[in-house]
Amino acid sequence: MRALTRTLVSVTTAVGIAAGGLAAAGTAVAAPASAQEQVVSGEAGTLAVVNLGLTQAQAKNIQRWLATYWNYNDSIDGYLGTNSWKAFQRCLKTYWGYGGEIDGIVGTETVKALQRLLKTHWGYTGLIDGIAGDGTKDAFKRMANGI
């Protein structure tokens, strides 16, 4: 993976130089991702902020709810990271049929359980398919605004 990354950076730099300057290539390679897109990879797995379309203010509402009811004790920062989702998974496991590990990873089973909650209380009308599409995100926003 590192060899591939080095190769891509080298090719991008060479193309940038050929196209008109190293400054342009450096900017293209070094452009930072938004806070919601940043992913940290390591031996322990992939961890990410997954707000599922929520604004930072809406995500803070979810975190406050998780802190009140589901033993979330991290910062109320508006970024639904691993600890936020672990707390959410505790809720989903207790009431909404989540059968996976409490690992904070927003996978198919987490989304399916979230969709069951959203279908019952927040107007989700789509399939319980584990895909966080527009309908899931819209209902999640209603939840965040209503709790």
Write a three-state SS string for 62-105: HHHHHHHHCCCCCCCCCCCCHHHHHHHHHHHHHHCCCCCCCCCC
Question: Would you say residue 147 has pLDDT above 50?
Answer: yes
Number of structural domains the chain divides into: 2
Taking the C-alpha atoms of residue 125 and residue 115, their distance in angstroms, rounded to an integer, is 9
Cβ contact 52:106 at 8 Å: yes
Total-model pTM: 0.68
Instruction: Please check whether residues 80 and 111 belong to one and the same domain.
Output: yes
Contacting residues for 75 by C-beta, under 8 A, at least 6 apart: none
Instruction: Please check whether residues 82 and 135 belong to one and the same domain.
Output: yes
Taking the C-alpha atoms of residue 122 and residue 117, their distance in angstroms, rounded to an integer, is 8
Domain around 17: 2-31
Q: Which whole number is the average pLDDT over 44-52?
A: 69
Instruction: Please check whether residues 89 and 22 belong to one and the same domain.
Output: no
Instruction: Please check whether residues 82 and 136 belong to one and the same domain.
Output: yes
* Domain annotation covers residue 39: no
Instruction: Please check whether residues 73 and 118 belong to one and the same domain.
Output: yes
* Domain annotation covers residue 108: yes
How many other C-beta atoms are found inside a 10 Å radius of the C-beta of residue 118? Answer: 24
Instruction: Please check whether residues 132 and 67 belong to one and the same domain.
Output: yes
Instruction: Please check whether residues 23 and 55 belong to one and the same domain.
Output: no
Contacting residues for 77 by C-beta, under 8 A, at least 6 apart: 56, 60, 63
Q: Which whole number is the average pLDDT over 40-50?
A: 52
* Domain annotation covers residue 62: yes
Tokens of 83: 């600890």
Instruction: Please check whether residues 89 and 133 belong to one and the same domain.
Output: yes
Taking the C-alpha atoms of residue 92 and residue 103, their distance in angstroms, rounded to an integer, is 12
Average pLDDT, the chain: 78
Percent of the chain with pLDDT over 90: 66
